[in-house]
Structure 1
């Protein structure tokens, strides 16, 4: 069990300094935003870590701005680490203030999810989540505890934003949360979910890889044929409901892509530094290859040193046996059967329940390409899909001072789609200004 003092530890307004960290990380003296963090035991052998930042806007109190829950992907990637310090939190990985932090527009709640991710931990192997249902059940425990103990957020507009596999989890969590709010078992003003470069339909993503790489000159005719052939094998496995085999074939398809493209970056095709770790050796099992390509790079040395050093010291509540990211591989492999299953029907259920759904995607993402996202959206059974499809998209600009198109958006009723230009898989990291503008639009602060 988790000691009681872990359940709700609140920090006052803190002044970070070199002396506070004494580990070589430098930070300009600045006052941190108000924060809180803690652990919630979700089962007898598993606990999840959360970290809340109150909105930091000089013109508005946090009660005048929404609350956003951020869910990272993987599964096994840490929102408290990667999402926080590499994408949307108040400080970057060098502990310098981030100009485009989302705290300007909302309070942000990071939760290391599923169990075993980041600072969250499992006490034994039976505690790891194995499917979307288990992930959702654990998150309901955390959200119920959070809103019952932090009543100041019960009447504030609440949104879930996500990235990658986090989008698949976010859809399921959003639907269950909507039901809980309707049943009055959780008190909050849940207003919508945003699915960023999300693994909603893995098969549609995989089938798009060949055409996308061919259209961007990363494949020739022969390469296109090889990648398409690999994708069809995955399709056949899915049609036969052989989900674990489909995951293994997914790994082989990525090997074929790396061989044909000289190691294209799966997360941003124009970024030369590969996130996909083409140095992965052939002796590794397919699941370990997938883990190294899609999770381990988010636990890169610099961030790992930060989270297991200065941040751990600051938080003061991380159990000695828990290493940030130490259980990530187990999280990933335990979800192997679930990887290739789609969640299109869950999005349909959200739309039918009149929950606001936003889809956003980076133009330069390969692993979850935009054309793959468009493909699953076309499969929705939502009665208003035709009206949505008939809408003309609108050009967006990151700020009023530029005439360069930064994105396009199309919306109808409770569905919206944002095409983010010059961004890869991690939209806020690549196009911070446009991502912040999108947040304000989705949360109805900017139109």
Structure 2
């Protein structure tokens, strides 16, 4: 047998083996048939299409409308909820395509939306349609949510909550206010009950101001780098306070480079390994295994966990705070609010989050400041305090992704927010 024949036979065998390789996502679905979901597109503007992926509570449509409904607002901006929120944090399967024990889809309906347009499976026919402001992004999301509830009228009376993370946490108060206004004007019919903000970039200056000290106190940077980065942070804060956002954006990039001057830091969790190698693998899995199973999805899209184009389009809005919308919600609505932050988070350090929450201007601010803390359920999971409709949670052992890094504390936060009787929330 000559070498060519041997090579040909070997090639055929390898190809046959690859051809018969089972799709791990398809296998996961076969082994866990209960996870029924629906997905689709909403054209929010001509040429701008937003993708959503909806999991029924416990994977079944039967009595799903009697379970709470969570709308997940991802961060970034430009991180894809269909992959990060879904597979990296709270969906039925993890990034290894294995069942997640603490999925939010148990006893709850979960709606993921790839936002802004141009992110994940959402797309635009022209890059000029990418959003440039938080207002534009929130309007697109509000339109998507309106269409979803028109398509699924059975959920209009279902208790519905927004849960958000990072930049999504900055967007959440604005979106919540838009939804509340639409409900009052009777252009939207949903039973909107509350919002959760995790690692929220709500007041960027407060987060930025404490980053150098937090990294210094945890040992991630030395004293010299602490002093030099603190100077940059103070200049950045002054630029934000004077609304010089172009200058602030330049200083923000410089601060990031400065803080990484002694080696690359993991801003998601100061003591954990970087999540990005796993997210890069997720790119491959989403395109190779997940996308082919989603009927109706634009198959020309190459899914990436972060849309750089969408991120860059929002650069001028990145450091604009959304505190005023949160204060308006506290003053003008009956929405219940839970704000939570991990103690290992570098993007939004816990101290900075506590500062901006305690500086909120609302009718219960003085009482909130004096309120005592209670332990979070479980062992050494942290503390929380509450007053009227606002609660703040110090979550231990978690960084920027609280749902995945401390699911026990996260379960308490969700139970608290969704409890009809506030007296039950401490149990």
Q: Same fold (TM over 0.5)?
A: yes
1:190 is matched with 192
2:266 is matched with 265
CA drift of 1:67 comes to 0.1
Per-residue CA deviations over 1:5-36 (Å, capped at 9, x if unaligned) read: xxxxxxxxxxxxx9998345553712132211
* SS of the residue 1:331 aligns to: helix
1:413 is matched with 388
2:12 is matched with none
CA drift of 1:237 comes to 2.0
1:350 is matched with 329
1:383 aligns with 2:363: yes
Per-residue CA deviations over 1:153-201 (Å, capped at 9, x if unaligned) read: 1000000001100111111110100111111100000001111101101
Per-residue CA deviations over 1:287-319 (Å, capped at 9, x if unaligned) read: xxxxxxxxxx39823211121122111112122
1:394 aligns with 2:365: no
For the aligned residues, what is the CA RMSD? 2.2
2:240 is matched with 238
Aligned length: 401
Unaligned runs of 5+ in 2: 1-17
Alignment of 1:189-338 (within 5 A): 189-260=191-262, 262-271=263-272, 273-275=273-275, 297=276, 300-325=279-304, 328-338=307-317
CA contact (8 A) 2:80 2:304 kept: yes
1:129 is matched with 131
Name the CA shift for 1:29/1:19 in 2 (closer, same or farther; >3 Å): farther
Q: Which moved more, 1:234-243 or 1:357-366?
A: 234-243
CA contact (8 A) 1:101 1:436 kept: no
CA distance in 2, matches of 1:264, 1:301: 18
1:22 aligns with 2:46: no
1:436 is matched with 411
| Greater Rg over alpha carbons, structure | 2
CA contact (8 A) 1:82 1:298 kept: no
CA contact (8 A) 2:280 2:305 kept: no
CA distance in 2, matches of 1:127, 1:57: 35
Per-residue CA deviations over 1:205-242 (Å, capped at 9, x if unaligned) read: 11011221222233343222111101012123223322
CA distance in 1, matches of 2:65, 2:241: 49
Q: Which moved more, 1:219-228 or 1:80-89?
A: 219-228
CA drift of 1:268 comes to 0.5
CA distance in 1, matches of 2:301, 2:79: 15
CA contact (8 A) 1:363 1:419 kept: yes
**Normalized against structure 2, the TM-score is what?**
0.89
1:288 is matched with none
2:168 is matched with 166
1:80 aligns with 2:48: no
**Normalized against structure 1, the TM-score is what?**
0.85
CA distance in 1, matches of 2:403, 2:268: 13
CA contact (8 A) 1:49 1:119 kept: yes
